[in-house]
Chain A
Amino acid sequence: MPFVSLSMEILLFLLYPLALYRLWLMLPALALHAVLIVSTAMKYGRIPLIGIHETLGFLAFTIGALAVIAGWKRNRDLFSYIIIPLILLLLAGSIASPAMPGALPPVLKTLWFELHVILSFVSYALFSIGAVFGILSLFYNEERAENNQYRSLLLGYVLFSTAMIFGGIWAYFAWGTYWLWTPKELWTTIVWFFYSLYLHARLVRGWTGPKVVWMGILGFVIVMFTYVGVGLLMKSSHEF
């Protein structure tokens, strides 16, 4: 079975680049990736979002799915030239990381945890798409791309906030507290404050143009550090 999974992951490396020609050609890769995710879930009888191996793969899949939705009508351009290498980079990271086979530890067996993790990664994917639209906006000076960045980040912010609330509920049932003073929680708050800052700057102060676009791109760097960097460099209640 690990051989089959690895073969499917390598096949994904061949299928995703098809989208460099036309974005809808990502659909076969997404279908295969969905099969891989669902089969992992069925094999272990749990949500397939444990450890860096599974979460990087899920993030790559979510970015791909959202990119197809957000860029369906786009012709071949910088959008797919950024998205596809990003997906391949995440997939490579996933394959290089050790898998965590087996069932969930009892403390993670709750719907609140599952909702917390799924929504977190969907919001990370939206923040990634927002950053890509930001680059497009700077490159083509496209107002539509800036608007798409704002929409992605607004939706990402709402889902991220909801994920944090669900995470707090889970933590309260699991550990008797909805907040712990650890680097991961502080960085999560940094992400949340940062996008609050972005939305206030744009919605209330009416900022537009390169200033807010750059904020959206910087936000992606902060999100990636919160996701991967904190887990690798700092000890926390979260493994990733």
Chain B
Amino acid sequence: MINFFLSLKTAVWTLFVLLCLFFIGSYMLPMHRRVFGPMNNDLLFHWVRDIAADNFWQTWWFFAALAGLVLLTVNTIFCSIQLVRGKWSHSNFLLRISPQVIHIGFLFILLAHLLGAGWGYKLSGMMPEGAYAPLPEELALRLNKIHVQTDAFGFMTDWSVEASLYENNHLVKSGTLGPNSPLFYGRTGIYLKSLNFDRGPAALLLIAKDPGAIWALVGGVLFMLGSVPLLALKWGKS
């Protein structure tokens, strides 16, 4: 059994099966919008519980891909441990450690997805200028002012929103939101998605807490840190 998890053949075949499953998934996503449409709007585990489990004929590839990723994770951990436990010398230290750093980065990215899929929250809605809205975890948001920049023809070129965040009715943060410029408080981010002026100035906001985001960043940095020496060493060797 342990040889199965240690085998590179397992990794190669799992990657191949994942390729095929994602290929199928890329066709299923646009074909079954009713099932997959809400996938990005809520926590993934909520989608699995509320929608995916009841539509297994459309979502089987997703569950199979999850199983494949679990197998790949176990395989990566086993292979890395085995390689790290092997004999070390100064001459091959970087060559042996850099693939393991890449693997750890990959595992952190998977961990981030797991945390983001099950914990935290995602809310979105239209908020008129001057409105006050309660948020989870004793937080509340006030949308103070909407600013719009236009060009000579009257087209919107940029926009921003002044907002204040309260915790237990005490002001804890004020700032300006804009495209690519969310307002963060702890791990909660407030994002400006778009504006609407149909019934007076209002902003479409997304409030998201993703406990996995920081680990995805750590994973990405580790992946890059491992890739560069591996590239340099293998390039020289070839």
Contact = CB atoms under 8 A, between A and B. Distances in A.
Interface of A: 103, 105-107, 109-110, 147, 150-151, 154-155, 158, 161-162, 165, 168-170, 172-183, 186-187, 189-190, 193-194, 196-197, 200-201, 203-205, 230, 234-235
B206 interface: yes
B227 A193 contact: no
A102 to B, nearest CB: 9
B88 interface: no
Interface stretch (B128-136, B137-145, B161-169, B217-225): B217-225
Given A162-B227, A180-B40, A183-B26, A193 B15 contact: yes
A196 B8 contact: no
Interface in B68-119: 112-113, 116
A176 B19 contact: no
A80 to B, nearest CB: 23
B16 interface: yes
Given A106-B179, A165-B223, A200-B11, A176 B16 contact: no
A106 B227 contact: no
Interface of B: 8, 11-12, 15-16, 18-19, 22-23, 25-27, 29-30, 36, 39-40, 112-113, 116, 122, 157-159, 178-182, 189, 191, 193, 206, 208, 210, 213, 216-217, 220-221, 223-224, 227-228, 230-231, 234-235, 238
Given A186-B26, A197-B16, A176 B182 contact: yes
Contacts of B206: 175-176
A172 B12 contact: no
A143 B122 CA distance: 53
The 8 lowest CB-CB distance pairs between A and B, nearest first, are A165-B220, A106-B179, A176-B208, A183-B26, A186-B26, A107-B179, A158-B227, A176-B191
A216 to B, nearest CB: 14
Given A186-B29, A196-B15, A197-B19, A107 B180 contact: yes
B22 A190 contact: yes
Contact of B40 (A103, A154, A181): A181
Contacts of A174: 179-180, 191
A174 B194 CA distance: 11
Given A176-B182, A181-B40, A183-B30, A151 B22 contact: no
A154 B234 contact: yes
Given A155-B231, A178-B216, A235-B30, 8 more contacts: A150-B238, A155-B235, A158-B231, A165-B224, A172-B216, A178-B112, A190-B23, A190-B26
Contacts of A176: 122, 182, 189, 191, 206, 208, 210
Nearest to A164: B220
B178 A106 contact: yes
Contact of B238 (A147, A168, A180): A147
Contacts of B113: 179
Given A106-B159, A106-B178, A107-B180, A161 B224 contact: yes
Nearest to A166: B220
Contacts of B230: 158
A182 B36 CA distance: 9
Nearest to A148: B238
A204 B26 contact: no
B26 A162 contact: no
B66 to A, nearest CB: 12
B40 A106 contact: no
Contacts of A155: 231, 235
Contact of A205 (B8, B30, B181): B8
B111 to A, nearest CB: 13
